[in-house]
Amino acid sequence: MAVFALVAGVNHRVAAVGYRGGSLFERREFSMAGALVKHPKGDLLIDTGFGRHIDEQFRTLPFMVRAITFYSLWRPAADQLSDVGYDPKSLHAILLTHSHWDHVSGLPDFPGVPVWVTPQEHEFIWKSGDMDFCRLFTGIRYMEYGFEGGPYLGFPASHDVYGDGSIVVVPAFGHTPGSVIIFVTLPNGTRYAFVGDLVWQLEGITRREERPWITRRRADTDAEGTRENLLRMIAVKERLPALIIVPAHDMRAFAEMPRLPKPSSMPPSSQ
C-alpha cells in the first residue's frame, strides 16, 4: 500500500478565510487536490481536485463565488497519473469526501471509474444546485455504500472498504448531508485522516477554530453537525498525535504526503 498526493491546483486565499482568527494579510494557497491510495485489492482516488475542464466548469458557478475565487490549475490528477505511466485499469473507484465543485471537477477525466458516495450525498448530488459540478456530468456511475461497521475512533459507525482495516470511512455529515472522513492506515503504521472540508486549514483542528462565521453559514449545510464532527476529530488527534490530518485544502498536509514517483519506481499495488 501507498498514498500519493495529487495537488491539481490552488485557490489563492488568505488565512482569515480558512479559520476563525486567521490573518487577513497572511496569504494561503488552498490546495485543490486528490490523493491516490494504492491497495492490493484495487486503488482508490480520494477526491479529484481540479480536473481538465475546470475553466469551463468554473464559469457555471454563481457570480458571488466567482468574484471571490482566484485559482490556478497546475496539473489535473488524471494527467499527473498518466505522466508517470499509471495504468488507469488499476483505479478501482473514486471515493468522494463530498460532492462540492472543487472536489469533483476531475470526475469526467476518469471515464468508467465508479464513484463511491453515501446515499445522503447521492441524494444531495441529484438535488444540489449551483455549487456542484455533478449536474454538468453525464455517464458517471455513482455507487452507494453504507456504514455497516461499528463505531470507529469515536465516530458512531464505519465502512471498512476492503475488510482489512486499511481504509475506513466514517460518516461526518454536516458540511454536506453526506460528507465523510476517510482513515487510511499503511502497513508501516503511518495513518492519515482525509477530512475533506470538515475544516479548510489545519488550525481548525490544532487551534480548535471553526470556519469564520460568514463562510460557515454559506459553506456548511448543517453547521451543528460540522461542529460535532470537528470535536470528534479533535479528540481523535489528541488520542493519536501521530495521525496526519489532511484537510482537502491545506497545502501543508499534502506536503507531508509522498508525490508520485517516477515511472520506473512506481510500486506495484501488491506491495
Q: Using the minimum distance from each CB to Zn ion, give the nearer residue, 121 or 197.
A: 197
Centroid of chain to Cα 147? 19
Separation between Cα atoms, residue 1 and residue 62, nearest integer Å: 40
Q: Which residues lie near Zn ion (CB under 5 A)?
A: 100, 102, 197
- Min dist CB 33 to Zn ion, Å, is 10
- Min dist CB 107 to Zn ion, Å, is 14
- Min dist CB 236 to Zn ion, Å, is 20
- Min dist CB 204 to Zn ion, Å, is 13
Q: Using the minimum distance from each CB to Zn ion, give the nearer residue, 100 or 211.
A: 100
* Burial of 29 per CB tally in 10 Å (0-12, 13-18, 19+): middle
Separation between Cα atoms, residue 143 and residue 125, nearest integer Å: 12
Q: Using the minimum distance from each CB to Zn ion, give the nearer residue, 66 or 262.
A: 66
Q: E strands within 104-189?
A: 115-117, 142-144, 159-160, 167-171, 180-185
Cell of 53: 475542464
Q: Using the minimum distance from each CB to Zn ion, give the nearer residue, 13 or 39.
A: 13
Separation between Cα atoms, residue 225 and residue 219, nearest integer Å: 13
DSSP string, 81-128: HHHTT--GGGEEEEE-S---HHHHTTGGGSTT--EEE-HHHHHHHHH-
- Min dist CB 74 to Zn ion, Å, is 16
Q: Using the minimum distance from each CB to Zn ion, give the nearer residue, 2 or 22.
A: 22
Q: Using the minimum distance from each CB to Zn ion, give the nearer residue, 1 or 253.
A: 253
- Min dist CB 248 to Zn ion, Å, is 5
